[in-house]
Amino acid sequence: MISLIKNEWLKIFKRSGTYVMIGILVLIVSIAGAFMKYQDTRGSVPDNEDWKKGLEMQNASYQKELEEMGDMLPVDVKESYERTIAINDYRIENNLSPNQDYSSLSFIADMSSLIDFVGLFMIIIAGGIVASEFTWGTIKLLLIRPIKREKILVSKYITMLLFGGSLLLLLFVFSGLLGVLLFGTGGQSSPYLNYQDGTVTEQSMLFHLMKVYGLSSINMIMLATMAFMISAAFRSSSLAIGLSIFLMFVGGQVTQLVAMKYEWAKFSLFANTDLFQYFEGTPMLPGMTLGFSIIMLIIYFLLFQAVAFLMFKKRDVAA
Amino acid sequence: MKAVVNIEDVSKIIKGRKIIDSLSFQVNEGEVFGFLGPNGAGKTTTIRMIVGLIGITSGDIKILGSSIQSDFEKAIKHVGAIVENPEMYKFMSGYQNLLHFARMSEGITKEKIAETVEFVGLTDRIHDKVKTYSLGMRQRLGLAQCLLHDPKVLILDEPTNGLDPAGIREIRDHVRKLAREKGMAVIVSSHLLSEMEMMCDRVGIIQNGKLIDIQSVNDFVQEEGRLYEIEVDAPAQAEQAMKRLYPGQSIAINNQSIVVTIEKENVPFLVKELVHDGLNIFSIQETTRTLEDRFLEVTSGKEGK
């Protein structure tokens, strides 16, 4: 099994496309780091003792907008205003300036939005890892070895997960190193302010990062598994990659639209991939709980795997 | 002789159409078996079934006693194959490709890989990327790939497709050598008759998914007597003489010649008789009946029925 994974790993890293992906990731983090470093003030709040006044002004304008527009505002805009107001109030009360030393941990937190990129690259690998063998014609040589087809597919799936994990690790370590280099380790790192159900709580930054990386990985793994299934079942890498990326971008929105009218939207994959809704903000539909989402995700996961394995095992290789 | 591959009453139905119809044959140790048929007759389908790439609708295929369906790993362990073109990972070097496939079988040493590379004559270029290889070199790499694990059965699907005469000759020599020296059972498919004639011991002819004939190449080509072409000034008169001498024999007239099948010992007698009849003989030539003649004879004959 280990030699199979080694084979797959080598096949990924013998292609130049892989290095382009890693290069893009490193480049974006570097550029973002440079911007952060040379941009003096971050945000609309003055960088001095007047920060409290700044926050109060921001609150007042948001409050006004909330009152004037009322229900005209889209749900998510309204929510983000309320969230900002609550967090600002908390800062003023507890004397927590937003202009505290920007540390490497904060940089990692800011860079964690790039996890979506890692997801994108993971989908590209997952979509190609089986289908490419068909395109290259090498599947014929691969499947006439004394190894069961299931085992080959498992090795490919594991390799794909390992690749995604490595990219995440790269993102974390590289943004951490760059953060230390540019912003220092920061004496006492500022806490992360979490807003949920109208209350603000303080969380350690490290815990917050773990949460972001952990929850995002689940989203990534689900989409990559879907791409993997399409790749294995339909032998088309472009279909697998295209469809998965498309759904990655619009799946959430479409589900949200459907959710406004129909309650069954909660059974959609995309209503459940974003587990942040149970830790920050509010769930998409009433009645959805963390347990419900986890069960839905497990069902989808098993479904994807079952389709991939059955189709791959039964398929006549005639290409 | 020991049968290594057993094809037992195999049929394949795709979308209600019978692609392969109750095929049965066996291939023995140290034998080169040619699988001959026009395009679309089912050669490649059969080969894919032997190596387990496509399923079998009914019947079974056994390799050294293990079924390819129920005991896949044990059966395929003894098989090395190139199915259609020898497609390799183009972005890797030839050596990396071989390492890749070596990792998928048990107990293949670095020495074995080097030895195989030497055997197919790729030592100089093995560390170059496969995308820089010519078709002939790819074919050689493909052969190396299927010899790594010392298979008992070698299956080559259209191995000489697209190769130049030197490449064809090379593959032919390798195949014969492997069968003779290592006792491998070799299955070669082709629609090229001349190639089969030089490479194979036995030939099975397949048409419309049915095996219509299996014969050893020698029997196949020279079934009865030898063929002589005699150039004379009056073919019609010569025909008359032939009919008198060998009634019931088939005689063909070809321009200024007659073509007859007789034993070698009878040639001088025939010449005397013809000269006695006042015919002028310009030349006598022994012509070998080619596989092609037989092939067309067999396939058109069966189709007519």
pLDDT tens sequence across A38-59: 765 455 455 566 777 777 777 7
Q: What is the mean pLDDT of the segment spanning A128-142?
A: 89
Cβ of B83 within 8 Å of Cβ of A144? The answer is yes
Residues of chain A in contact with residue B52, where contact means CB-CB under 8 angstroms, are: 143-144
Q: Does A184 touch chain B (CB under 8 A)?
A: no
Q: Does A2 touch chain B (CB under 8 A)?
A: no
pLDDT at B303: 45
pLDDT digits (tens, 9 = 90+) for B13-36: 888 888 888 888 888 888 889 888
- Can you name the residues that pair with A225 across neighbouring β-strands? none
Residues of chain A in contact with residue B100, where contact means CB-CB under 8 angstroms, are: 7, 10-11
Name which of A76-80, A149-153, B231-235 the model is least confident about: A76-80
Burial of B17 (0-12, 13-18, 19+ CB in 10 A): exposed
DSSP B28: E
Q: Among the ranges A63-67, A77-81, A176-180, A188-192, which has the highest mean pLDDT value? A: A176-180
Per the CB < 8 A criterion, the answer to whether A273 and A226 are in contact is no
The pLDDT confidence band at residue A269, using thresholds 50, 70 and 90, is: confident
Q: What is the mean pLDDT of the segment spanning A112-121?
A: 87
Per the CB < 8 A criterion, the answer to whether B260 and B286 are in contact is no
Nearest-CA distance A8 → chain B (Å): 9
- Can you name the residues that pair with B230 across neighbouring β-strands? B258, B284
Kindly list the residues of chain B whose beta carbon comes within 8 Å of any beta carbon in chain A: 14, 48, 51-55, 72-74, 76-77, 79, 81, 83-85, 87-92, 96, 100-101, 103-106, 145
d(CA B183, CA B176): 10
Instruction: Please tell us whether the domain made up of B226-288 is placed in CATH 3.30.70.100.
Output: yes
The larger pLDDT score, comparing residue B254 to residue A268, is at A268
What value does the mean pLDDT of chain B take?
A: 83
Per the CB < 8 A criterion, the answer to whether A283 and A203 are in contact is no
> In this model, does residue A260 exceed pLDDT 70?
yes
pLDDT at B292: 64
Residues of chain A in contact with residue B83, where contact means CB-CB under 8 angstroms, are: 140-141, 144
Give the chain B residue nearest A152 (alpha carbons).
B104
Interface confidence (ipTM) of the complex: 0.76
The set of long-range contacts for A67-71, using a CB threshold of 8 Å and a minimum separation of 24, is none
pLDDT digits (tens, 9 = 90+) for A189-242: 567 777 766 677 777 777 888 888 888 888 888 889 999 998 888 888 888 888
Nearest-CA distance B77 → chain A (Å): 5
What value does the mean pLDDT of chain A take?
A: 81
DSSP B58: E
Q: Does A135 touch chain B (CB under 8 A)?
A: no
Q: What is the mean pLDDT of the segment spanning B71-79?
A: 88
The answer for residues whose C-beta is within 8 angstroms of residue B112's C-beta and 6 or more apart is B102, B148
pLDDT digits (tens, 9 = 90+) for B277-299: 888 888 888 776 666 666 666 66
pLDDT at B219: 63
Name which of A20-34, A180-194, B45-59, B228-242 the model is least confident about: A180-194
Per the CB < 8 A criterion, the answer to whether A79 and A136 are in contact is no
DSSP B289: P
The pLDDT confidence band at residue B244, using thresholds 50, 70 and 90, is: confident
Three-class SS of residue B269? helix
Per the CB < 8 A criterion, the answer to whether B92 and B130 are in contact is yes
Q: What is the mean pLDDT of the segment spanning B45-66?
A: 88
Domain boundaries, chain B: 3-221, 226-288
pLDDT at B299: 66
Q: Are strands B202-207 and B257-262 parallel, antiparallel or unpaired?
A: unpaired
Residues of chain B in contact with residue A136, where contact means CB-CB under 8 angstroms, are: 87, 89-90
pLDDT at A158: 94
> In this model, does residue B305 exceed pLDDT 50?
no
pLDDT at B295: 67
DSSP string, chain A: -HHHHHHHHHHHHTSHHHHHHHHHHHHHHHHHHHHHHH-S--SSS-SSTTHHHHHHHHHHHHHHHHHHHGGGS-HHHHHHHHHHHHHHHHHHHHT--TTSPP-HHHHHHHHGGGHHHHHHHHHHHHHHHHHHHHHHTTHHHHTTSSS-HHHHHHHHHHHHHHHHHHHHHHHHHHHHHHHHHHH---SSPPPEEEEETTEEEEE-HHHHHHHHHHHHHHHHHHHHHHHHHHHHHH--HHHHHHHHHHHHHHHHHHHHHHHHH-GGGGGSHHHHH-GGGGTSS--SSTT--HHHHHHHHHHHHHHHHHHHHHHHHH-----
Cβ of B73 within 8 Å of Cβ of A147? The answer is yes
The pLDDT confidence band at residue A157, using thresholds 50, 70 and 90, is: very high
d(CA A285, CA A288): 6
According to CATH, the superfamily of the domain at B3-221 is P-loop containing nucleotide triphosphate hydrolases (3.40.50.300)
Picking from B72, B90, B101, the nearest residue to A141 by CB comes out as B101
> In this model, does residue B220 exceed pLDDT 60?
no
B169-to-A192, B16, B233 alpha-carbon distances in Å: 74, 41, 41
Three-class SS of residue B157? strand
